[in-house]
Structure 1
């Protein structure tokens, strides 16, 4: 029987995939902060930077939904190379023309977000469809760990280059890395197998729509992350604690999430995927709520570490959940749709917390965001019950 330990993933194809994934995702992780640093010295630069970052995220959401639905197993490399290549050009434009008019920078930011937005789903499909079935949960856990590591390193890389070299340096690095990821695609399989009979006569959109409860729970999970990231500095100030603690606290969250992803893949867990997801989502909600109401810095730190551990497992269950409800031919598009959904969840939570912060305390803003998450959780749970009745929703394969 094939080995089902993490060691079995240490192969040349998987390591090549990891190198391409890092090169493709580091620019994405650096982009919002790099855009703020790019224009911060202009009059009103921080406002413009926030607007460019928002345009970038909108581009990601739109690109993931529209381009992800067009991914085809037999033309995967061509689609991914085109999107990543266009993204590299857009990042290069931002870095080479930092003094361009606002509208030009906005157009580049939109393209940089939208063009490569299908690549996370396509790369995940290339990973999971070319490892043994028994290794898929561990492959997804390892992917989540890699993602959290990239997101933990990206702010330091963007800040170090912007302040140590030049304001446009992070964007030039992003362009170079994304161009390298295009070249690296030729070290990976060019496609994956798909049984088109799984969805014969059914449109891609209708096929993807059947998994809506999974997307909703993904959006709920990301809304919690938005609360932790965006409201934490204000919460610390409300408690009379040093705002400078927000960086170490969020770093602890990211490190805990990386560890949690590996932990989830180490063993089999009881219950159906939908049940696991519900329990983890409620656990993360409880941790974020505890951080809002307990004034101790140590308690906030513990709550965020536990939230990170649970959040990572939640991310893996959602990816496995898509595999359980979508045909193989639609998986890459489904992963991209999930990427779009979590972007919407982040934006919705950010908007709600920002609105509440203008009239109430930061702790109240966090609790209002938790309420939004719980509403999304209820909707997702009801939808997944219907999915279970319509189709056997298998427990996580370990």
Structure 2
């Protein structure tokens, strides 16, 4: 087994942003990079969507199949295969743009293969620390920071270098993770393999579904903003700034939130913040001007933080260590499904009806789905 000189927590602090940057950068690299080689944004969107679909499938189907005794080697192999798939996708688009569906397949497989990593890394972090709320707050800070800079980095890599080089840069991050993963996963890491390693859905139905709802709200906001800006200014150039306000609000709140070691009634706080986030989305489409839109973005980011942090804390408290990787992967998959579904449906509703109706309908649907999750979880108690 490969030896490293890094402490597990230090390695985790390094590998988490590296692997998360791949997740947050690949959508823009796919869209902009595909366009840069002469293909349409639609083709790039399909490639990007394939990654999200692969994540959702792999997170549920693969994580519990990892072998606890060999999990370090398996995760290192996942990182290496991910790097190879990134290289293949980039080379295909660069050398044979007409073969872009092959790049799409490579990115789909990338999403599937790499999907267990977030769950394993989050599970490792909670097992490394006696203060799961704090470590998960740090995880959320890293996650949101990556979502701020990832898309920007993706566009810059394509424009300053080229499509192939952009994919190679992401591959390099995964290759660096091959080494770090050996140190990031503790020696006494607890993981249950096989069917017994699956996390039961009913006891954690609310945090899992809330994960999807939170990301659905985020996607709805992300996709409504360009249309509103286009209507007000004739251009959507300010979209990145609005989205950055949301992400920064979440980052700062997560940092403050993590100062407290333990929260009483985390379920109530998480539910209240999730519902507030949904209600704020409901008025986004009715925002009368740019300033109010920025205010809404900031508030959504602020209430998003406790929703995201505490749902992970709840799962960490409820699920045994041996099944945490599978449970965190379930959260991860739900988020991917929620984001993908909302990103597909909300713009369509906005174009067919209006931004106002789209935001209200999406909010109502999110509340309905969340209510069903509450009923499912209560029926199992």
Identify whether the pair has TM-score above 0.5, normalized to the shorter chain. yes
- Any residues of structure 2 matched to 1:170-319 within 5 Å, and which? 170-194=166-190, 203-205=196-198, 207-240=200-233, 242-267=235-260, 271-319=264-312
**Secondary structure in structure 2 of the residue aligned to 1:168:** helix
Q: Do the aligned partners of 2:128 and 2:186 also contact (CA within 8 Å) in 1? A: no
Alpha carbons 2:64, 2:195 under 8 Å: kept: no
Whether the 8 Å contact between 2:76 and 2:182 is mirrored in structure 1 is no
The answer to whether structure 1 residue 163 and structure 2 residue 156 are counterparts is no
Distance 2:33 2:237 in 1: 23
Offset of residue 270 of structure 1: 6.0
State which drifts further: 112-121 or 259-268.
Answer: 259-268
Maintained 8 Å contact 1:88/1:175:
yes
Q: 1:207 to 1:32 in 2, by over 3 A?
A: same
- What SS class does the counterpart of residue 129 from structure 2 fall into? coil
Find the aligned partners of 1:18 and 1:329 in 2 and give their Cα distance: 22
Residue ranges of structure 1 left out of the alignment (5+ in a row): 1-10, 391-398
What corresponds to 1:88 in structure 2?
83
| Aligned equivalent of 2:145, options 135, 139, 149 | 149
The CA distance in 2 between the partners of 1:63 and 1:270, in whole Å, is: 32
Query: Quick one: structure 1 residues 268 and 181, their matched pair in 2 at CA, closer, same or farther if it must change by over 3 Å?
Result: closer
SS at match of 2:114: coil
* Alpha-carbon distance in structure 2 between the residues aligned to 1:165 and 1:190: 38
Structure 1 residues 218 and 59: alpha-carbon distance in aligned structure 2, compared to 1, 3 A threshold? same
Task: State the alpha-carbon separation in 1 of the partners of residues 73 and 262 from structure 2.
Answer: 38
Deviation at 1:137? Answer: 0.5
| Structure 2 gap segments, 5+ residues each | 1-5
1:191-238 Cα shifts (integer Å, max 9, x gaps): 544497xx9x97444634542232111111110000111121112233
Name the SS of the counterpart of 1:216 in structure 2.
helix
Give the corresponding residue for 1:77: 72
Residues 190 and 264 (structure 1), Cα distance of their counterparts in 2 relative to 1, 3 Å cut: closer
Kept in 2: contact 1:128–1:140 (CA 8 A): yes
Contact 1:280 1:311 in 2 (8 A): yes
The Cα RMSD (Å) is: 2.3
Asked if the contact 1:323/1:331 (under 8 Å) is kept, the reply is yes
* Alignment partner of 1:17 out of 12, 17, 20: 12
CA contact (8 A) 2:134 2:259 kept: yes
CA distance in 1, matches of 2:53, 2:191: 33
The alpha-carbon distance between structure 1 residues 131 and 295, as it changes in their structure 2 partners (threshold 3 A), is: same
Aligned twin of 1:3: none
* Equivalent position of 1:102 in the other structure: 100
- Residue 102 (structure 1) shift: 2.6
CA contact (8 A) 2:52 2:337 kept: no
Deviates more, 1:121-130 or 1:234-243: 234-243
- Displacement after TM superposition at 1:53 (Å): 0.8
Residue 336 (1) aligns with residue 336 (2): no
How many matched pairs?
373
Pick from 339, 342, 348 the counterpart of residue 355 of structure 1.
Answer: 348
CA-to-partner distance for each residue in 1:175-201, whole Å, 9 max, x for gaps?
A: 0101110111122345544497xx9x9
Cα pair 1:29 1:154 within 8 Å, conserved: yes
**Cα displacement (A) at 1:61:** 0.9
The answer for the alignment partner of 1:51 in structure 2 is: 46
2:122 corresponding residue in structure 1: 124
Residue 132 of structure 2 is matched in structure 1 by 136
- Verify the 8 A CA contact 1:278 1:377 in the aligned structure 2: no
Is 44-53 or 219-228 further displaced after alignment?
A: 44-53
